[in-house]
Amino acid sequence: MTNIQRAACVGAGVIGAGWVARYIRNGIDVAVYDPHPEAERTCRDVLATAEASLDRLMGGPPPSRGRVTFTATLSEAVGDADIVQESAPETESIKREILAEIDRHAPAATPIGSSTSGLLPSRLQADMARPERFLVTHPFNPVYLLPLVELCAGERTDPHVVERAQSVYDAIGMRPLVVRKEIDGFVADRLLEALWREALWLVHDDVATVAEVDDAVRYAAGLRWALMGSFQAYRIAGGEAGMRHFMAQFGPALQWPWTKLMDVPELTDAFVDKIAEQSDAQAAGRRIRELERERDAGLIAMLHALRDEDLAAGSVLRRHEARLAAPQRVRADLDAPAPLRLLDARVPAAAVDYNGHMTESHYVKLFGDAGDALFAALGLDDTALAAGESFFTAESHIMHLKQVALGEQLEVTTQILAADDKRIHAFHRMHRQADEAVVATAEQMYLHVDTERERVAPAGGTIRANMARLADAHGALAVPETAGRAVGRR
């Protein structure tokens, strides 16, 4: 993961607010500065939409959510930030002035990223006293759902800052793409610009309306692009002979006078009115927030479908979900007269069955993880394992008491019923954090094994002493009502 705890977002428009949503969803506190009098209201509107969409995408709220603070000054926002994201208007002079001010007030080692969609980083960093910590970090709208972020260094950017930025954005569920050479528009926007120019001509020349142009994308190539982009799609189009055959067959068409990529129709008032009127008709009375919700719903559906196949953007989501859902061990107090709280975990999509409930195998996994956490608390570390010490599970009895759904946050507590130098008789309870209900229990017998001799043997001194400490601490606890129960019998 990353050690980023505090982020600063300078500029809280659509992109800036999207960054805020992305950060707080990953447990990072965010300080926001934007001098516009309506900035906080509009940002919170975006955050409300983002929260609803991310709950659907991730199957529920996050285990921890970062806090949002709106500051009165830029210096207050960036003063203790671990990373700064600038999302000011796309004007070079404005960005340079703001970036120079951020550079004056942010901690010296803090990376500073700009959301610019095309301005050159070497020019943007020109007025900074510490230009080595600046780079372009260009996201895509909505930032909280689309994983791509283009990273582009300037002439004076430290390569280590780019490497650090990659790890940060990867840890918050994004797909960093390092642009190999500094170039106007970077990679993705140059591709979008080419399509946009051609689309404007098609509407200008009455070949198609704006809705028909969008249909031509979304019902065909857009679906394919979401999965494999252009080059891989064309490789497949070349058949078994691959890309060479495709280039030989269709390459000559690139010389035909089809495109007007180097020209743009004049944006006269009449042409702008034409586009605006057709766009209004396409929206059919739906307001921006409604269109945003429709967009998010479609993106979530596609991301879920791609996640299930572990493909393209779905692979990024799948890895991030797994990272967030990985059980977290909690430090145990072996002398406390209470069950040990050993494990926190979140139910991931991969652990949910056709009924929408946590799978039986995931109960087994979480109780197994709790056992591993218990052994670690007793002192079974890498040194002990290398010396031939281990614990094996000899018996298990799991009771499923309540249904558990996608995204729910769980914790496992463990009570020691008995222990000697070779055995641990443990009783685990799985709690749902939202209502503290016990959703499942597991009663297990663990045997200490000498792995070199492959037989049950007394535990080593440290582990044996900790087993005794824990058994003593739990000795006065009430025995669970279902302890010792056979299947189907009280």
Measured CA distances, 184 to 111, 120, 123 (Å): 22, 6, 11
Q: Which residue shows structure tokens 């991730």? A: 58
Domains (range + CATH), the chain: 6-187 (3.40.50.720), 189-319 (1.10.1040.10), 326-473 (3.10.129.10)
Say if strands 438-450 and 455-456 run parallel, antiparallel, or are unpaired. antiparallel
Measured CA distances, 311 to 226, 233, 280, 444 (Å): 10, 14, 35, 39
pTM over 0.85: no
- pLDDT, tens only, 380-418: 999 999 999 999 999 999 999 999 998 899 999 999 999
Joined tokens for residue 468: 């005794």
Which band of pLDDT confidence, cut at 50, 70 and 90, is reported for residue 331? Answer: confident
Residue 193 has pLDDT above 80, yes or no: yes
Say if strands 328-329 and 175-178 run parallel, antiparallel, or are unpaired. unpaired
Contacts for 160 with CB less than 8 Å, ≥ 6 apart: none
Provide the pLDDT for residue 289.
86
Which band of pLDDT confidence, cut at 50, 70 and 90, is reported for residue 240? Answer: confident
Least confident interval from 127-131, 250-254, 293-297: 250-254
Provide the pLDDT for residue 2.
60
Q: CA-to-CA distance for 482 and 443, rounded, in angstroms?
A: 9
Which band of pLDDT confidence, cut at 50, 70 and 90, is reported for residue 490? Answer: low
Provide the pLDDT for residue 322.
84
Residue 1 has pLDDT above 50, yes or no: no
Contacts for 166 with CB less than 8 Å, ≥ 6 apart: 151, 176, 178
Residue 364 has pLDDT above 90, yes or no: yes
Q: CA-to-CA distance for 361 and 373, rounded, in angstroms?
A: 18
Residue 340 has pLDDT above 90, yes or no: yes
Say which residue, 248 or 110, is predicted with more confidence. Answer: 110
Mean pLDDT of 128-143: 97
Q: Percent of the chain, pLDDT > 90? A: 78
Mean pLDDT of 444-449: 97
Residue 489 has pLDDT above 70, yes or no: no
Residue 113 has pLDDT above 90, yes or no: yes
Q: Quick one: CA dihedral 344, 349, 354, 359, positive or negative?
A: negative
Q: CA-to-CA distance for 294 and 467, rounded, in angstroms?
A: 56
Average pLDDT, the chain: 92
